Amino acid sequence: MAILSALGTEVFIPVAAAVGVAFAVAQWLLVARVKVNPAHAAAAAASGGSKNGGYGDYLIEEEEGLNDHNVVVKCHEIQTAISEGATSFLFTEYQYVGIFMSIFAVVIFLFLGSVEGFSTKSQPCTYSKDKYCKPALFNALFSTASFLLGAITSLVSGYLGMKIATFANARTTLEARKGVGKAFIIAFRSGAVMGFLLASSGLVVLYIAINVFKLYYGDDWEGLFESITGYGLGGSSMALFGRVGGGIYTKAADVGADLVGKVERNIPEDDPRNPAVIADNVGDNVGDIAGMGSDLFGSYAESSCAALVVASISSFGINHDFTGMCYPLLVSSVGIIVCLITTLFATDFFEIKAVKEIEPALKKQLIISTALMTVGIAIISWLALPAKFTIFNFGAQKEVTNWGLFFCVAIGLWAGLIIGFVTEYYTSNAYSPVQDVADSCRTGAATNVIFGLALGYKSVIIPIFAIAVSIYVSFSIAAMYGIAVAALGMLSTIATGLAIDAYGPISDNAGGIAEMAGMSHRIRERTDALDAAGNTTAAIGKGFAIGSAALVSLALFGAFVSRAGVKVVDVLSPKVFIGLIVGAMLPYWFSAMTMKSVGSAALKMVEEVRRQFNSIPGLMEGTGKPDYATCVKISTDASIKEMIPPGALVMLTPLIVGTLFGVETLSGVLAGALVSGVQIAISASNTGGAWDNAKKYIEAGASEHARTLGPKGSDCHKAAVIGDTIGDPLKDTSGPSLNILIKLMAVESLVFAPFFATHGGLLFKWF
């Protein structure tokens, strides 16, 4: 028996979630102390106290001779425009996604309900034929409800993240006037608000859903947790559209702004004369914040669901051990507490005084959270798990110890840290790989592209070995459940990971606002330093997301194979091999669609920006006003239209393959997509990140080597901008979306497994 009682479990999980929400609210209130509203700022300045936002502090503007009130007014206007643009886009996107959500919910109900002909009679359980489980019709109903619940939670997570980011961007800019340390704290605290809200809400909604479903299912834990998998499907479905739609939006604007503004017109990044500049800043929020929030929420939901499904048919489910069953949720609960302590190291225990301290401070967050979480996992494994128990392993029960399971979670956690640091090495301009890419710009854009692609391919090696070792060790110890909890271990510090990830786009927006508000060069240098560190940490976040996606997908794949009754996935079988080769092709097809979508949208944006520069009198001189709204509309319309085909490809593939070709071919498709998707995702994300930071390395001119490559506007710099422009859709659209592709196809196959096992393979039945 476990030391932690069922009552203790029922109390600890919601309390941990409540603590996470309370901490997020506390961080938000601290960020809100910085006043952006001009009237409030004037009152704060009059009181002269730092309690009111620190307007009595020494500001650079006083030395530069700039009017403080005008700066605040301008920042407020820009922040409002960005917030309104982001809100407008998300509401438009959510209208289309809402229609899809409703239609797909009906599809789930009809497919799963038809397994037993919409029967309301109890049926023999899948794994224990001597027992009777709840009717298929009600399983279909509850699966549909959990799908809608996961989808709504994902949408709310993305929307809240976007609102927090647009609330914080101008505040980060204003704090940069007092020093880089104060700006860093505002940006990081804002990211922490998003991280803790998302981690806590994902946990508490899943926990409540389990307890509500339990009222109907009672002792039928097999049916209960099978229906809960719809929660992961809903979360990832929305994440796919959020990532693809947001990614197309942000990169269409970014590419249009860079190609015309930087390369053709030789004006700075985020120059207010550039008509695409507001759309570019809006894109950072809808793509890198809302999309990324939904993405990591989907990973968390799916890894939890995969672990719960396997646990329900293991000794935890057979013996109705509620505490052991909730082990994945307990790990996430401990993660919230650990991340809370870790965040205090960045905001309260240490103070950043120089630019060079920013990136190390963010890296320390990863190290501290991983070290503390290792201890936390050991404690919860000791308290919540019996000394010995059995785990379902393809028809048999495998005996496992509590310390064995601790090792599975810990190896996933540390593999995530390794992937993070390898990603940082290949994407940070502090190291030789990115500096080599920057140096290759001497001979033009072509050599820059060659070096960048080579870097991306090479950066795949160590992460893949880390994932491979994690899979082998965790499977050897605890079968597919071991892999599922290893994925959960990688995501256990999700609150810190999201805080670091969200920090990047907030800092990027802060730099844009500083440029558009006409603030001094020294402030822009500070925001650029924050942004450069954010680029690297965003790449680390993508590395975590891709690594965890690989483990989650494999765990879901194992659950699908067991549920569908596939005894062996034989690669030499023609049915499996055709699936394998087609599955390996899907990530390429998907990447082609998303890359072309960005290209098509960017083409329209470039034409519009050129038109405005050529037709609006005085625009280049700064006396004419650009039409920002038209560029925002181009990005919105293009992304909504272009996100549908890639989304349809991912959502329809498992349904078509499973129905027409059967579960064996679908097994091959899932394996092929997993193997090729992970490689492409890592290389695309790291290539794009390296090109971006190579450009920033040249622009900053912080070292003697960098100064020989600059300055801005030189041929070398223009070659770097072209590389960055090519890399934008790779790192912010195709790469991050691929990890959703492999997860989503796996969880969708698991949800529809009863239908495929009963009615699938129509073509092979006919021929």
Q: For the segment 459-491, what is each residue's pLDDT rounded down to a tens digit?
A: 999 999 999 999 999 999 998 899 999 999 988
Burial label, 102 (beta-carbon count in 10 A; 0-12, 13-18, 19+): exposed
DSSP string, 409-468: HHHHHHHHHHHHHHHHHHH-TTSHHHHHHHHGGGG-HHHHHHHHHHHHHHTTHHHHHHHH
d(CA 587, CA 641) in angstroms, rounded, equals 20
Handedness of CA 465, 468, 472, 474 (dihedral sign): positive
Q: Is the pLDDT of residue 363 over 70?
A: yes
Q: Is residue 476 within 8 Å of residue 502, measured between CB atoms?
A: no
Q: Identify the pLDDT of residue 456.
A: 94
What is the separation, in whole angstroms, between the first and last Cα of the chain?
A: 54
Q: Identify the pLDDT of residue 63.
A: 46
Q: Identify the pLDDT of residue 621.
A: 86
Q: Is the pLDDT of residue 184 over 70?
A: yes
Q: Identify the pLDDT of residue 48.
A: 47
Mean pLDDT of 414-434: 90
Q: Identify the pLDDT of residue 108.
A: 94
Name the residue among 480, 474, 471 with its Cα closest to residue 547.
471
d(CA 198, CA 194) in angstroms, rounded, equals 6
Residue 563 Cα distances to 27, 110, 182, 366, 656, angstroms: 44, 19, 53, 37, 18
DSSP string, 287-350: IIIIIHHHHHHHHHHHHHHHHHHHHHTSHHHHTT-HHHHTHHHHHHHHHHHHHHHHHHIIIII-
Q: Is the pLDDT of residue 635 over 80?
A: yes
Q: Which residue has the higher pLDDT, 271 or 373?
A: 373
DSSP string, 508-575: HHHHHHHHHTT--HHHHHHHHHHHHHHHHHHHHHHHHHHHHHHHHHHHHHHHHHHHHT-----TTSHH
Q: Residue 624: helix, strand or coil by DSSP?
A: coil
Q: For the segment 242-268, what is each residue's pLDDT rounded down to a tens digit?
A: 888 888 888 888 888 888 887 788 887
d(CA 609, CA 426) in angstroms, rounded, equals 33
Q: Tokens representing 677?
A: 């998707």
Which pTM value belongs to this model?
A: 0.89
Most confident of 105-109, 526-530, 613-617: 105-109
- Please give the distance of CA 159 from its chain centroid, rounded to a whole number: 14
Lowest mean pLDDT among 11-20, 47-56, 413-422: 47-56
Q: Is the pLDDT of residue 383 over 70?
A: yes
- Domain boundary assignment for the chain: 4-38+65-762
Q: For the segment 35-81, what is each residue's pLDDT rounded down to a tens digit?
A: 877 665 555 555 544 443 333 455 555 445 455 678 888 888 889 88
Q: Identify the pLDDT of residue 372.
A: 95
Name the residue among 38, 32, 35 with its Cα closest to residue 73.
38
Q: Which residue has the higher pLDDT, 562 or 200?
A: 200
Mean pLDDT of 448-464: 95
Q: Are strands 123-124 and 388-393 parallel, antiparallel or unpaired?
A: unpaired
Mean pLDDT of 186-191: 92
Q: Which residue has the higher pLDDT, 39 or 605?
A: 605
d(CA 332, CA 335) in angstroms, rounded, equals 5
Name the residue among 463, 461, 385 with its Cα closest to residue 739.
463
Mean pLDDT of 204-219: 91
Q: Is the pLDDT of residue 745 over 90?
A: yes
Q: Identify the pLDDT of residue 51.
A: 40
Q: For the segment 539-562, what is each residue's pLDDT rounded down to a tens digit?
A: 777 787 888 889 989 989 988 988
Most confident of 105-119, 122-136, 264-278, 650-664: 650-664
Q: Tokens representing 533?
A: 């560190």
d(CA 492, CA 412) in angstroms, rounded, equals 9
Q: Is residue 299 within 8 Å of residue 243, measured between CB atoms?
A: no
d(CA 227, CA 210) in angstroms, rounded, equals 10
Q: Is the pLDDT of residue 762 over 80?
A: yes
The mean predicted confidence, pLDDT, of the chain is 87
Q: Are strands 132-133 and 123-124 parallel, antiparallel or unpaired?
A: antiparallel
Percent of the chain with pLDDT over 90: 42
Write phi, then psi, for 468 (nearest 5 degrees). Answer: -60, -45
Q: Identify the pLDDT of residue 54.
A: 38
Q: Tokens representing 52?
A: 């009111």
Q: Is residue 165 within 8 Å of residue 190, measured between CB atoms?
A: yes
